[in-house]
Chains A and B, each alone.
Chain A
Amino acid sequence: MAMRLSVGGLRQLNKACVRVAVMEKGVTAVGRGMWKYTSRDLHTTTATPSYSKLPRLQHTISESYEQVEVSTAEWPYVERLLPYTTIPKPSSNPGEVTPSGWVAPSAQPGDYPYFVPRAASHMMPVYVEHEPILNRFVTRVKHVEGDIFALGEELQEHLTRLFPSKYIILRVHEPHQVIHIKGQFVGAVKEFLFKKGF
């Protein structure tokens, strides 16, 4: 409607809308502002009985629930969703390189005077620790068994050859079975140990 929306115009519009909206079944407009309710109720009636008439203390179990069948055929579907309790052993040949880049160990105790077993996660136990000071990094080779000093010497030689400009500071800590190297040499050390077959 092309009507100027003045206050009076809005009031008229409202009244018209209200009048239209209230026109429900069972309600007839009688005059202006007067409504008359017919015998038919405004709320709808349903077939459900009232609360007091519901059956009390009467439980009826349908026949389908009386016989319970025990079945363990579906257990594998449950089992495969359960998390692992132990880290599973990877099934691969010694020395195999998997598509992810993981290298299976191939060295046996006795090949070298020292031995570096994998951690429980089957990864090489070479870690780098960064103290919250700019350049303070320490590379650690852990779980070294056997003659740890021999491995320390070999690592010193190897890293000095790879990084001739750096002065390799290396410490062998026998009671803790660990070698500390000052700096970040994780990649180089891991590669060295992978080549040995650990």
Chain B
Amino acid sequence: MAAAVVACGAGTHHTSESQMPLKKALSAASPLTLRIVAECSVTKARACDLILPHSAVSTPVFMPVGTQGTLKGITVDQLEGLGCQICLGNTYHLGMRPGPDLITKANGLHGFMNWGRNLLTDSGGFQMVSLVELSEVTEEGVKFKSPYDDKEILLSPEKSISIQNSLGSDIMMQLDDVVSSTVTGPRVEEAMHRSIRWLDRCIAANKNPNKQNLFAIIQGGLNADLRKACLDEMTRRDVPGFAIGGLSGGEEKDDFWRMVTLSTDHLPREKPRYLMGVGYAVDLVVCVALGCDMFDCVFPTRTARFGSALVPWGSLQVKHKQYAKDFQPIDPDCQCPTCKRHTRAYLHALFKSDTAAMHHITIHNIAYQLTLMRSVRQSIVEDRLPEFIRTFMKRMFPSRDQYPGWAVDALASVNVTVE
């Protein structure tokens, strides 16, 4: 149906395909277009322009999470000012409060939040894992016991898509049967197969295929065969994008990266790859090298509220006594509003007096994540990603023997040595 337009712009490094013709979209209005601007000549990384209904998004991209239709104390103007082009909302939470009917009346989640750029909504599937005490999975869907009013609700593929249709997000996620990555045995296979069936039900239930993009989510746990089977099946469906799910849940990093790279090996080149739940700087950089385009994680915004500021050399616990008399900004090289005006000492003191302290750190952390991704993208465009990675690792870790083993292995698998 809606095929992605593939264009090879200047700077692409697949020289043998330099004369690739443009494929026109089959339907008049394709709500997603991926333009591959550059591909790394060493790793599997790409830099793309992802054209979505509300605006263009430069990838690789980190998407901040605004679970309940707000990004924890930050206004939409501030978010826009930081250069954020897409952020997340959550179907489970918003489906409960304020509910899809109210949001429809408010002109969708965009209208309700007054956010003019793109929104991606998760299906509610992850809550199955995170709120497992309150849920029960059947072929029909996931039965949740609402923590707010003890009512039981059934989140089926149809119901999830219906809510997401009301939310009006630019990218919707299928409802998948999510199993914690630490679970093994037949449940993993069952979940993988069910996720495929639920994908088909989600596709059928989507009332707005011309305005809202439905992404599939590859499951299969940490089992290469199951992952491969899932990839084979799901890539037969004509969805505008794919997510790599079921990871980033406490599994061994050595297993994690192998599943990521296996997935990108078998996902179509001309569609975006979204790695769910990844947000630590090292993970982002490595997974970009492994071929992922989009990421989301609550970590940067959540950790900010505890006074933890993200910096190129790790993190800085602003609330610690050692910063009480430190009159530097969090990061002297950072251009965010917080670092341009405030010192560690002031923020340290402010944490004792007002919530504004949290907001300052949240702004800084979002700026850090977005700046990191911009730098990664620029290095891909200039075809110097391996060099960027080496510099990044040197800055992040005091010495070579502190580089995480899994990261070294993962990078080696895409021809990057971090000496």
Specify whether A and B are partners.
Answer: no
